[in-house]
Amino acid sequence: MPIGADKFADLPQTVNELVADRAIRHALYLERYKSQLVTDLLEEFNDKLEPALLAKIEESLRRVSGTSKELQAIFKTNGELVKAEYTIMEAKLYDQLEEFSNVESAWLIRTLKANTPITWNFVSPAAGTLRSLITKQPMEGALVKDWFKKLSADTAFAVNREIQMGMVEGEGIDKIVRRIKGTYAAKYTDGILNSPRHHLQSVVRTATGNISQIAKDEVYKANTDIVKGVEIIETLDPRTCLECMDKDGNVYDVGKGPRRPFIFPAGGQRPLCSSHGRNWEFPD
């Protein structure tokens, strides 16, 4: 063996190893993209939904006497406002995910071409396929639109509940609004609107990871004449759960077997494992 050759003994050698190596590095950029997408959607929440909602709440509370009929009218208005803003965020997410899915599939095809030792005409997914899957492929057992519908309903419920409690307790308008928004001292993390922010982040991150996998799977399905299987590769560290460790190295036929983000079985404590998509809890 030439002097120093042992330094290269662990470097990727086969086509499969080369593609896997680039996929692992590409995953780092995926996490950066998720973070940026979350930031963009949270700006929509912080700059539009929250100010508009709080302004409407203050305006409504200053002109009501607290009758049940008046409160129900406020609750309905709040629900409509929240729904409208979440619909805007949902539409923006769809547009971003469509563009992202096309980028992901194009990246995989370039990677396959660059690392296959023969010239091969890799096929891209049919036009419109990825867009259709974004809106029709379930994520954690529900469509993205259903998750946004739940986010909207949960946010409106939480806000209206705080208003109802504040009115019953005889609290002033400023105190009610402060409990909804949070305090400056706590950087507004103590307000009830902080929970929807957290849930929105989880939905966006999981949806992005889901679409990334869908885009890759569609490329594999379109090229089964050369792609014969998909291997699960897990990061084996202290945060990886035993279930995911067991999947590491398993090879499945194209279109078969589990795909990330994996769904943790019902019941029991959820692991702090990045492979599992269900890493948040919505109130029942």
- The tens digit of pLDDT for each residue in 98-148 reads 999 999 999 999 999 988 888 888 999 887 888 888 888 888 788 999 999
- Within the chain, what is the greatest distance between any pair of CA atoms? 88
| pLDDT value at 156 more than 90 | yes
In terms of phi and psi (left: phi > 0; alpha: psi -120 to 50; beta: otherwise), the region of 152 is alpha
Annotated domain spans of the chain = 12-227, 235-284
**In DSSP terms, which residues pair with 231 in a beta bridge?**
251
Q: Is the pLDDT of residue 8 over 60?
A: no
> Per-residue pLDDT for 279 more than 50?
no
* Angle of CA points 250, 220, 230, to nearest 5°: 5
Per-residue confidence (pLDDT) for residue 264, from 0 to 100: 52
- The full DSSP string for the chain is --TTGGGGTTS--SHHHHHHHHHHHHHHHHHHHHHHHHHHHHHHIIIIIHHHHHHHHHHHHTT----HHHHHHHHHHHHHHHHHHHHHHHHHHHHHHHHHHHHHHHHHHHHHHHH-SS---PPPPPTTHHHHHHHHS-BTTB-HHHHHHHHHHHHHHHHHHHHHHHHHHT--HHHHHHHHH--TTTTTTTSTTHHHHHHHHHHHHHHHHHHHHHHHHHHHHHTTTT---EE-----STTS-HHHHHHTT-EE-TT-S--SSBPPPSSSPPP--TTBS-------
Question: CA 70 to CA 87: how far, in whole Å?
Answer: 26
Q: pTM here?
A: 0.81
pLDDT score, position 226: 87
Q: What is the mean pLDDT of residues 159-171?
A: 89
The answer to whether the beta carbons of residues 266 and 278 sit under 8 Å apart is no
pLDDT beyond 70 at 189 = yes
Mean pLDDT is lowest, of 54-58, 67-71, 243-247, 267-271, for 267-271
Say whether pLDDT at 170 is over 90. no
Tokens of 250: 């398993």
* Cα 234 to Cα 275: distance, rounded to the nearest angstrom: 8
